[in-house]
Structure 1
Amino acid sequence: MPTIDVSAPICRTPVAAAPVDDRAALGVTLRLKALADPVRVKLMSLLAQRDGSVNTRDLAAAVGLAESTASHRLGQLRNSGLVESPRQGRSVQLAAGRDALSALCFVLDPECCR
């Protein structure tokens, strides 16, 4: 999967509003591709249900994976901007990238997130 600049927000123009340019189409596609796996969807669901952040070990146990496998899957979500991973000392805590998720929903269907 190509790497995208996750510091740049996803295009906020709904795909139904006008033809999207190549860059915007790639940004949406890569984020959807990151979600195109049942385990990654489960991980996103778990992160979205948490008010605070959680560590990889807890998520791995919740989905029945080795920590290294869960870490790889979470890395794909992190690369797409859908998961945030702020450091807290030596620990990395994970949280759903709520802004990126909202933007993705809005781009796909502006009526979805009202």
Structure 2
Amino acid sequence: MPVLDVIETSCCAPLARAPIGEADAERVAAMFKALGDPVRLRLFSKVASSEGGEACVCDIQDVGVSQPTVSHHLKKLREAGLLESERRGSWVYYRLAPSALAVMADLLAPVRA
């Protein structure tokens, strides 16, 4: 499965304001599906809350599953457009993809009168 393109912040109007289009629904659904797994949600949270905005896999892999399973879950988060990664020597560092949180927050934002 190819890595999804980064979704721009202006992806979607809040769901309470306008129906979401088919293409945007596919991209955003992939993000929420990736976060629907408890291990992936914990890994995403560890990266998001890391000092400096990035985390080495060596610092976030303690989530109660084997290292190959951690790698599998991190790959799914990357494919969903939620994380970016960079190899430095023998370690891989992860950071949130630009605008990933903003897209989800904007979509779920309440409509203000």
Q: TM-score band (shorter)?
A: 0.7 to 0.9
Structure 1 unmatched runs, 5+: none
Output the amino acid matched with 1:63.
Answer: V
Report the Cα distance in structure 1 between the residues aligned to 2:25 and 2:38, rounded to whole angstroms. Answer: 23
Residue-by-residue CA offset, 1:44-101 (whole Å, 9 max, x unaligned): 11111102322223221x2122211101001111111111113335542111235211
Alignment of 1:45-56 (within 5 A): 45-52=45-52, 53-56=54-57
Give the number of aligned pairs. Answer: 109
Q: TM-score, normalised by structure 2?
A: 0.80
Report the Cα distance in structure 2 between the residues aligned to 1:13 and 1:77, rounded to whole angstroms. Answer: 23
Q: Return 80-89 or 7-16, whichever deviates more.
A: 7-16
Output the amino acid matched with 1:57.
Answer: C
Q: Does 2:21 match 1:6? A: no
Structure 2 unmatched runs, 5+: none
- Any conservation in 2 of the 1:57–1:67 contact (CA below 8 Å)? no
1 or 2 for the larger relative contact order (CA 8 Å, sep ≥6)? Answer: 2
Alignment of 1:48-87 (within 5 A): 48-52=48-52, 53-60=54-61, 62-87=62-87
Residue-by-residue CA offset, 1:3-52 (whole Å, 9 max, x unaligned): 56323436132222212211011111111001001111111111111023
